[in-house]
Amino acid sequence: MSSIRVRIAPSPTGPLHVGTARTALFNYLFAKHFGGTFVLRIEDTDLERSDKKYEKDIFDGLKWLGIEADESPERGGSHGPYRQSERIKTYKKHIQTLLTEGKAFYCFHSENELAEEKEKLLAAKRPPIHICEYRSLDPEEARILTETKSDFIIRFKTPSGRKIEFQDLIREKVSFDSELLGDFSIAKRANVPLYNFAVVVDDEEMDISHVIRGEDHISNTPKQLLLIEALGFRTPQYAHIPMILGTDRSKLSKRHNATSVNEYREMGYLPETLFNFLALLGWNSGTDKELFTKEELIKEFSLEKVQKSGAIFDIQKLDWMNGEYIRKKSLPELVELSKPFLNGNQETKFPKGNLVSNDYIKKIIALEQPRLKKLSEIGERTEYFFRAPQYEKDLLRWKNMSDEEITASLDKSINILSNLESHNVHLNARTRVKMNISKETLEETFLKEIGEGDKGRILWPLRAALTGQKASPGPFEIMEILGIKKAMKRIKTAKDKIK
């Protein structure tokens, strides 16, 4: 196994976000490309905001996407435990080292005092940096104070006048001035570490070689580098990946699209679609190719091809891609995937006692497969196969046909169908198999009967009567599945509407 070890470190304070999933995916692809290890670590030291239900949502979402961690709280591994809340002893040890060596100190400022200071600095148009007076308090005096005061935090004694530089794998050299960092906090108390500190300890102890994370963390990196230096740790390589933006180029939020992976799952996007789509949010292969299998992505992924500028989340592209993946499914697979969406939709719940055969469902799904974009659409789109459609009579009108013309048109369809039906009854009696009339036969007969002229005058009212929808597959395909009897019943209902 290669020495490449990367990680995703989500906080379980909300459902799995598409941005986190994208970061996880880039880490995963990078690790798999080099035969390395992908670690999932849970940053749950913020006990108030962390919730087990979100942790589960993160685990489930990543698994559903096919981004399997090699080491995680669930799978375990050689570098555990993988939840920060289970690593408190380790943090305490390193905090103690920093305190003992005079690289960190106790700060006794109240939140009010800090807020006031910040306000003053901002009013004076100065950066809100806290250079703490307690940094020079005698350590023994400070220790005694901690015994009487309960409200204190631990800060890092940021060295002044230092230039902190690192070579980002995506953005080249990044440099920061230590003056702008202030004495940043590293722990609320000895047993409540804060992000910048805990992440550094975890990355060291878990032998993380590359930190691949969102660009929003770039300003944390100099703090982490100072801590790494102070603790004598190894420095990982950094790659800050671009933010995901909405089509208006502002940071992706609920205002644009759904943001949690589970919402996409519920909308009927396939995991392979999302996997492929997320991979292209900030990365491209250097060609026009957009559809990639997981194996292809693992083979082709490289940090060099990750872009610096923001990645636009284009829902139309996602829809297109999902349609492509739906069409790649075998029919039995698609039937299974669609069933929850058929059953889950109140409108299409099969009437009790009315057994809808698997074969019937299969035919319906086959009809929709070429045009479906999301599995969730299937409920509404196929509703008319399960219950008589509801619609306004005007839907039956083709161009400016009069009511009498519509009635005549529907009569003609009934005529054609009843002729076909009596022929079919004879045929079925002879062969002793009950077969629906095929769409080919239906089409041939109708076209012959209609002859020259505007086909819409017959086919539109017919199709509208069958489906009650503005758009649907053609009437012949529908009648083949529905059967002539039901079709005729619906046309008669349509005629009643006109009366």
* Stretch 184-203 residues interacting with ligand GLU (CB under 6 A): 199
* Stretch 91-150 residues interacting with ligand GLU (CB under 6 A): none
Cα(227)–Cα(256) distance, integer angstroms: 38
Closer to ligand GLU by CB, 83 or 217: give it: 217
Stretch that binds ligand GLU, among 6-14, 31-39, 65-73, 256-264 (CB under 6 A): 6-14
Q: Does 45 bind ligand GLU (CB under 6 A)?
A: no
Stretch that binds ligand GLU, among 7-15, 292-300, 434-442, 458-466 (CB under 6 A): 7-15
19-28: b (≥16 Cβ within 10 Å) or e: bbbbbbbbbb
Closer to ligand GLU by CB, 27 or 409: give it: 27
What minimum distance in Å lies between the beta carbon of 439 and ligand GLU? 53
| Tokens standing for residue 301 | 């992924």
What minimum distance in Å lies between the beta carbon of 393 and ligand GLU? 56
| Tokens standing for residue 379 | 């409920």
Helix ranges, 256-314 (H): 261-266, 271-279, 294-300
**Residue among 4, 5, 6, 9 that touches ligand GLU (CB under 6 A):** 9
Cα 249 to Cα 180, 207, 215, 219: the distances in Å are 28, 36, 15, 21
Q: Does 213 bind ligand GLU (CB under 6 A)?
A: yes
| Tokens standing for residue 190 | 């000895």
Q: Does 204 bind ligand GLU (CB under 6 A)?
A: no
What minimum distance in Å lies between the beta carbon of 203 and ligand GLU? 8
Q: Does 481 bind ligand GLU (CB under 6 A)?
A: no
Give how many residues touch ligand GLU by CB under 6 A. 7
Q: What is the CA radius of gyration of the chain?
A: 32
> What number of CA atoms fall less than 13 Å from residue 90's CA on the CB side?
20
Instruction: Identify whether the C-beta of residue 242 lies closer than 8 Å to the C-beta of residue 309.
Output: yes
Closer to ligand GLU by CB, 16 or 416: give it: 16
Closer to ligand GLU by CB, 188 or 489: give it: 188
Closer to ligand GLU by CB, 11 or 424: give it: 11
What minimum distance in Å lies between the beta carbon of 217 and ligand GLU? 5
Which residue has the closest beta carbon to ligand GLU? Answer: 213
Cα 214 to Cα 169, 200, 244, 246: the distances in Å are 13, 16, 9, 16
Active site residue 223: no
Q: Does 11 bind ligand GLU (CB under 6 A)?
A: yes
Cα(442)–Cα(290) distance, integer angstroms: 40
Q: What values do phi and psi take at 118, rounded to 5?
A: -60, -45
Q: Does 217 bind ligand GLU (CB under 6 A)?
A: yes
**Residue among 22, 34, 43, 278 that touches ligand GLU (CB under 6 A):** 43
What minimum distance in Å lies between the beta carbon of 75 and ligand GLU? 19
Q: Does 39 bind ligand GLU (CB under 6 A)?
A: no
Closer to ligand GLU by CB, 310 or 389: give it: 310
Closer to ligand GLU by CB, 200 or 326: give it: 200
Q: Does 10 bind ligand GLU (CB under 6 A)?
A: yes
E strand or H helix at 410, and its extent?
Answer: helix 403-431
Q: Does 71 bind ligand GLU (CB under 6 A)?
A: no
Q: What is the dihedral of CA 388, 390, 394, 399, to 10 degrees?
A: -50
What minimum distance in Å lies between the beta carbon of 199 and ligand GLU? 5
Catalytic annotation, pick one of 254, 305, 349, 455: 254
What minimum distance in Å lies between the beta carbon of 98 and ligand GLU? 19
**Helical pair 456-467 and 403-431, crossing angle rounded to 10 deg:** 70
207-238: b (≥16 Cβ within 10 Å) or e: ebbbbbbbbebbeebbbbbbbbebbebeebbb
Cα 255 to Cα 23, 171, 258, 374: the distances in Å are 21, 29, 8, 21
Label the pairing between strands 104-107 and 153-156.
antiparallel
What minimum distance in Å lies between the beta carbon of 221 and ligand GLU? 9
Label the pairing between strands 192-193 and 185-189.
antiparallel
What residues have CB less than 8 Å from 451, skipping those under 6 apart?
none
Stretch that binds ligand GLU, among 3-11, 171-179, 372-380, 424-432 (CB under 6 A): 3-11
Q: Which residues lie near ligand GLU (CB under 6 A)? A: 9-11, 43, 199, 213, 217
Q: Which residues are catalytic?
A: 254
